[in-house]
């Protein structure tokens, strides 16, 4: 498998074992790419990079200098940057009226300002690749189109990141740079393991998926692989590898509560 042979990739958000970013990195490496993984925690990054024969570097996306340092380290270690994936995020699930200013600042720093830093740093790197440019991929969420209760700060900042991607696609296509978004839905990962383990939770979501199952990290990695490859002649688009959820909707909060209560009652 060599769909990415000769290409280099940076994947940010890969410091949790088995998460979406690591799944993407594994797929890219399997397809021949030389991969650098990044995030905030050294041990899981170094361990995972060793398993894929890749590189690693620490980075906190909320710090502009750290993101630019990552882009420089990637060029130094890989020689160039053909693919850049941002898979960072914080699934803040909290009613609008209860979100504190501290929480709002944190999620804006991570999911909007951080994305802006990421785009500035890697657009700058990819402009040097002209005319080949590169592929920038932002992981967003199906909730920007299929709303979920008590998720306003998360949905708002993810929606903002999608707008940034469209602007990059419009402004930098002349350099051969493609910028796209991937929007998975309720996906099993370290970030959602508590929700998946809650009795009745999957039961509440599953009927909304026309293809009859929930997302996997592999679904997201498959979409990322296509966008990263030379096969994808598109830019500024939002790919929805979520089994058709956006044709329907996410369950309402009271529906989730009823499904969880019913499952707990069955267990009793």
What integer pLDDT is reported at residue 52 of this predicted model? Answer: 97
> What digits encode the pLDDT tens for the residues 196-219?
888 889 999 999 999 999 999 999
Rounded to two decimals, the pTM is: 0.95
Residue 95 lies in a domain: yes
Distance CA 23, CA 33 (A): 14
Look at residue 36 in the predicted model and tell me its pLDDT. 98
Calculate mean pLDDT across residues 77-86.
Answer: 97
CATH number of residue 222's parent domain: 3.40.50.720
Which structure tokens are listed for 75?
């060029």
Mean pLDDT value of segment 101-130: 97
Q: Find the domain containing 106 and state its range.
A: 8-190+214-247
pLDDT at 95 over 90: yes
Cβ neighbours of residue 174 under 8 Å, at least 6 residues apart? none
Strand-pair category, 55-58 with 83-86: unpaired
Report if residue 125 sits inside a domain: yes
Q: What is the mean pLDDT of residues 54-80?
A: 97
Does 268 have pLDDT greater than 70? no
The pLDDT of residue 1: 66
Give the pLDDT confidence score for residue 264 in this predicted structure.
Answer: 77
Q: Is the pLDDT of residue 8 over 80?
A: yes
Could you tell me if residue 107 is inside a domain? yes
Structural domain count of the chain: 1
Is residue 75 included in any domain, yes or no?
yes
Residue 201 lies in a domain: no
Of the listed ranges 1-5, 58-62, 113-117, 149-153, the least confidently predicted one is 1-5
Q: Is there a domain that residue 26 lies in?
A: yes
State the pLDDT at residue 77: 96
Cα–Cα dist 107/116, whole Å: 13
């Amino acid at each position: 498998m060599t769909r990415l042979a000769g290409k280099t990739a940076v994947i940010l958000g890969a410091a949790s074992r088995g998460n979406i970013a690591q799944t993407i990195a594994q797929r890219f490496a399997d397809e021949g790419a030389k991969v650098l993984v990044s995030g905030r925690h050294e041990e899981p990054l170094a361990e995972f990079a060793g398993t894929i024969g890749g590189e690693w570097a620490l980075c906190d996306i909320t710090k502009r200098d750290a993101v630019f340092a990552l882009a420089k380290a990637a060029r130094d270690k890989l020689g160039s940057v053909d693919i850049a994936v941002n898979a960072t995020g914080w699934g803040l699930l909290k009613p609008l009226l209860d979100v504190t200013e501290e929480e709002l600042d944190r999620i804006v720093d991570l999911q909007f300002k951080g994305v802006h830093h990421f785009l500035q740093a890697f657009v700058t790197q990819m402009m040097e690749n002209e005319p080949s440019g590169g592929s920038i991929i932002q992981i967003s969420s199906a909730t920007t189109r299929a709303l979920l209760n008590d998720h306003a700060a998360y949905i708002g900042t993810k929606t903002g990141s999608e707008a940034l991607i469209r602007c990059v696609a419009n402004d930098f296509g002349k350099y051969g740079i493609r910028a796209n978004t991937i929007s998975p839905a309720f996906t099993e990962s370290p970030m959602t393991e508590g929700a998946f383990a809650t009795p009745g939770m999957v039961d509440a979501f599953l009927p909304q998926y026309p293809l009859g199952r929930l997302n996997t990290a592999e679904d997201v990695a498959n979409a990322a692989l296509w966008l990263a490859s030379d096969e994808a002649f598109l830019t500024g688009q939002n790919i929805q590898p979520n089994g058709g959820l956006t044709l329907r909707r996410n369950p309402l909060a009271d529906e989730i509560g009823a499904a969880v209560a019913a499952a707990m009652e069955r267990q009793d």
